[in-house]
């Protein structure tokens, strides 16, 4: 079972801002599951003494939708379970394709306004997973959370995420892939998840119970009403192993 959900944080709700997080999941074949989340940068952009508000929910949605569609399309054509080498190459292709996609979005902006557009529209993290039977891998650029059977790993960037769209402003030819972490003994895991930094480790452990997408969204809406939960936006994508299912 794969599910995903997003919730508007309390601070953004009070300021009447849009949710800047994005989540998506897909199952291109019976034995492959994909999940990812994106978090748009909320910082204002200051130029020439003027402050410009962030609308990076646009970048989170565009980048996230492009990435899930790319992986879903590429993995749907596989006739056998992908090896770690195949997934590593595929994610390198996704990294390059995502950069090309972002470059096309800004190609016709004049240099004088390009930096502002990137900084206020396209800065977003990307954290995801691919589970394919005997292989499972997390991939990311930026901060968030990785979860395997309740064990939570926080991707801490000291509040300075390395957004993919930074490459549009200061290209780094050495950065050709996302950061990767292959899951040991993936055939034995029961569930995994990725989440944006609006979550807490304690709350993520409660995802152990499998929930269909609508049920997960309703549960998340209730959690967001609790004091101290989700001052910031939250997004999550999860996979749970089902009985009598290869996944």
pLDDT digits (tens, 9 = 90+) for 62-81: 999 999 999 999 999 887 88
Closest by Cα among 217, 233, 219 to 13: 233
Return the minimum-mean-pLDDT range out of 1-15, 140-154, 208-222: 1-15
Closest by Cα among 92, 85, 118 to 174: 92
> Helix count (H) and strand count (E) of the chain?
6, 12
Residue range 133-158: mean pLDDT, rounded: 94
**How far is it, in rounded angstroms, from Cα 146 to Cα 152?**
6
**How far is it, in rounded angstroms, from Cα 119 to Cα 113?**
10
Per-residue pLDDT at 6 exceeds 90: yes
Residue range 213-231: mean pLDDT, rounded: 93
Per-residue pLDDT at 247 exceeds 70: no
- Structure confidence at residue 54 as a pLDDT band (50, 70, 90): confident
- Structure confidence at residue 149 as a pLDDT band (50, 70, 90): very high
- Structure confidence at residue 157 as a pLDDT band (50, 70, 90): confident
Per-residue pLDDT at 13 exceeds 80: no
What pLDDT, on a 0 to 100 scale, did the predictor assign at position 117?
Answer: 93
What sign has the CA pseudo-torsion 25, 27, 33, 34?
A: negative
- Structure confidence at residue 176 as a pLDDT band (50, 70, 90): confident
Average pLDDT, the chain: 91
- Structure confidence at residue 245 as a pLDDT band (50, 70, 90): very low
**How far is it, in rounded angstroms, from Cα 144 to Cα 141?**
9
Return the minimum-mean-pLDDT range out of 47-56, 113-122, 159-168: 47-56
What pLDDT, on a 0 to 100 scale, did the predictor assign at position 203?
Answer: 95
Give the DSSP letter of residue 114.
H
What pLDDT, on a 0 to 100 scale, did the predictor assign at position 246?
Answer: 45
- Structure confidence at residue 47 as a pLDDT band (50, 70, 90): confident
């Amino acid at each position: 079972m794969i599910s995903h959900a997003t919730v508007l944080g309390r601070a953004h709700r009070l300021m009447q801002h849009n949710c800047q997080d994005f989540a998506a999941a897909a199952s291109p074949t019976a034995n492959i599951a994909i999940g990812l989340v994106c978090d748009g940068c909320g910082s204002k952009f200051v130029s020439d003494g003027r402050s410009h508000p962030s609308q990076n929910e646009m970048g989170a949605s565009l980048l996230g939708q492009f990435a899930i569609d790319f992986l879903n399309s590429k993995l749907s054509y596989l006739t056998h379970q992908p090896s770690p080498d195949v997934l590593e190459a595929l994610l390198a292709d996704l990294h390059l394709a995502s950069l090309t996609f972002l470059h096309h979005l800004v190609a016709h902006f004049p240099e004088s306004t390009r930096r502002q557009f990137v900084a206020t529209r396209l800065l977003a993290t990307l954290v995801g997973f691919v589970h394919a039977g005997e292989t499972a891998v997390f991939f990311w650029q930026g901060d968030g959370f990785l979860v395997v059977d309740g064990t939570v790993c926080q991707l801490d960037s000291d509040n300075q995420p390395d957004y993919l769209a930074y490459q549009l402003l200061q290209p780094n030819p050495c950065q050709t892939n996302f950061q990767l972490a292959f899951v040991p003994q993936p055939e034995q895991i029961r569930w995994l998840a990725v989440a944006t930094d609006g979550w807490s480790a304690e709350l993520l452990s409660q995802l152990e119970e499998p929930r269909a997408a609508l049920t997960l969204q309703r549960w998340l809406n209730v959690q967001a009403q609790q004091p101290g939960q989700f001052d910031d936006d939250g997004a999550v994508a999860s996979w749970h192993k089902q009985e009598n299912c290869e996944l």
